[in-house]
Amino acid sequence: MARAAMPHPSGASAVHALADAAPTPFWLDDPARPAALPALVGDETCDLLVVGGGYSGLWTALIAKERDPERDVVLVEGAEIGWAASGRNGGFCAASLTHGLGNGLARWPGELATLEKLGIRNLDAIGDAVARYGIDCDFERTGEIDIATEPHQVAELQEAAEDAAELGLDRHTFLDEDALRAEVDSPTFRAGLWDRDGVAMLHPARLAWGLKQACLDLGVRIYERTRATALAGDGTGMAVRTPYGRVFARHVALGTNAFPSLVKRVRPYVVPVYDHALMTEPLSEEQLAAIGWKNRQGLSDSNNHFHYFRLTADHRILWGGYDIVYRYGGGVRAEYDHHPATYEKLARHFFRCFPQLEGLRFTHSWGGAIDTCSRFSAFFGTAHAGRVAYATGYTGLGVGATRFGAEVMLDLLAGERTERTELEMVRSKPLPFPPEPLRWAGIGITQWSMTRADTRAGRRNLWLKAMDKVGLGFDS
């Protein structure tokens, strides 16, 4: 297939497409959104307190009750269930626990086959839970295609396909340009690697709301608009303070992710970075036919600054990623959610990828914080003599991996040696980020270097090579 010349959409065209976009997450702008439950007022006691009402906390509470229906579980959430990353992400639910095959091979080559097995088992369990609890979240296991848009990336995808084959992962299929464009048609596409069974697409907010209801049905007591402000030992248990009360618990599981951990020594390991996305209006039958995409896979390109995109149940396209916005000091604030310059850039990139959709409008634009760590995948630990467990640092791949993290936290709190807790990935920590202003400067240099590599056939400069050597990275 001959390559068409690359179109260059104007800024005016992008601005026009964004003119009516509501500055709110599409997934949360849903009549199915449940009302918030009352805040905690006074004192509570329980066996297990879960802090955080995103996927990490919800899966922990749910699995804790599944393991022991008699366990008394309380969950507190500072705002509303699913309002943060769990209701703002792209809805890519991946089996990978290592932020992709390449990162896993670089960091845990000796146990990657086990990690892949556990990841598939985890994704299977998510699908089973969605069915068992009747969660209406548009769960569809269509897989994901990693896309080469530059010549050097074609060879990288071919190498990744060979690595997958050596690990016995037969679900990966390399697609040349013709095969890829037969799946989804864009003049920017050169090749692809399709993970046919390792990723599901879903409605992320409805998954969170469905998990909330499942927890309630099993007897979990949930308090929303109840921010945990302090954590301290209390005899043989723990006490967590909230604005209007306290919770006394034998054990505490922390699922706060991008927000500052109640275990202060964990904070240097995580920085919040902001990711942004757009949602189009529904495509017509003619527009869908123009791009193909009949198999509804999730898609992402292979640049350092990458885009991710997918179809919704009502045939919209979510288009997100590219910029990774870090704010000096690492705060998480509502005013950081929006970045108009990124929205315009994303819109221009969208029409460059799909020029046949020129004239399509965007209905929603939004952003949110991601809990990034230097190894791009979750890390785990305990505090207060094993009475507190945490899992954090998912780096944008938490839709699926948080369920695995919940099981790790519960194993750690139980003091059990399991296949999960014996993993080097679980027993080790990433490198911490340096304090400010070194953190801000280092992230800035890394961002510049990544952009430079994208424009120079992937060649990594001395800064990136040094970061690779010591295992310190930055991603979303």
Going by pLDDT thresholds of 50, 70 and 90, the confidence category of residue 400 is: very high
Q: What pLDDT, on the 0 to 100 scale, is given for residue 358?
A: 95
Q: Angle 204-217/112-132 helices, nearest 10 degrees?
A: 70
The mean pLDDT of 359-376, rounded to a whole number, is 96
Query: What is the Cα–Cα distance from 108 to 98, expressed in whole angstroms?
Result: 9
Average pLDDT over residues 190-207: 97
Q: How far apart are CA 439 and CA 457, in angstroms?
A: 27
**Each residue of 255-309: pLDDT tens digit?**
999 999 999 999 999 999 999 999 999 999 999 999 999 999 999 999 888 999 9
* pTM as predicted: 0.95
* Cα–Cα–Cα angle for 251, 405, 145, rounded to 5 degrees: 165
pLDDT digits over 41-97, tens only?
A: 999 999 999 999 999 999 999 999 999 999 999 999 999 999 999 999 999 999 999
Confidence of residue 459 (pLDDT cuts 50, 70, 90): confident
Average pLDDT, integer, range 175-189: 98
Range name among 9-18, 206-215, 292-301 with the lowest pLDDT average: 9-18
User: What percent of the chain is predicted at pLDDT more than 70?
Assistant: 97
Contact indicator for 269, 373 with CB cutoff of 8 Å: yes
Of 440, 414, 408, 442, nearest in space to 427 by CA: 408
* pLDDT for the residue 456: 83
**Average pLDDT estimate for 394-418:** 97
